[in-house]
Amino acid sequence: MIALLLVGSSMAADPLVWPSPPEPVRSECPQSSALIAGKPPPVDLVEAGVVKCSAVAEPTSSLAYLLAVEQYGRAAHEIHKLELEQMQNQIDWYKAELDKANSAKPWWQRSTSQRWIGRFEIVALVGLVGGASWGIYTAAGGST
């Protein structure tokens, strides 16, 4: 019951959506450029000895880590999407089973009808056996 509540509440939440890139900041560099240790900055970043645009120099290892985190996030999203689909399939199956269990049964399959049918079968069987016994007894010349 608790699991169903958790799944239901998680399905009610908005799905996780990848963020879109932000609007460009004024005076930012138009493209990414590599800064190499011991070498001057790229020519398109410098004008008259002054840097002409704003940017952040990100260490290479940090960028590699951020890319790995992004890949992990995408993989986790896919895994959770599959788990949610599996849970939805289970919920649908249980709903179908519940509907089948709660559906109206024909009158001859209800327990009270089954008991009465069984009683009539016993009465008919006793009558048949009794009638056959009486017929055999009277045919053999028994007294009545």
Mean pLDDT of 117-121: 95
Q: Domain for residue 16, yes or no? A: no
Q: Domain for residue 71, yes or no? A: yes
Write out the two tokens for 57: 């120099």
* 92 and 72 co-located in one domain: yes
* 95 and 119 co-located in one domain: no
Q: How many domains does the chain have?
A: 2
* 63 has a pLDDT exceeding 80: yes
Write out the two tokens for 17: 């959506």
Distance CA 15, CA 71 (A): 18
Q: Domain for residue 27, yes or no? A: no
140 against 61, higher pLDDT: 61
pLDDT of residue 56: 80
Q: Domain for residue 41, yes or no? A: no
pLDDT digits (tens, 9 = 90+) for 3-43: 555 555 555 556 667 778 888 888 888 888 888 888 888 88
Domain hosting residue 84, numbered range: 57-100
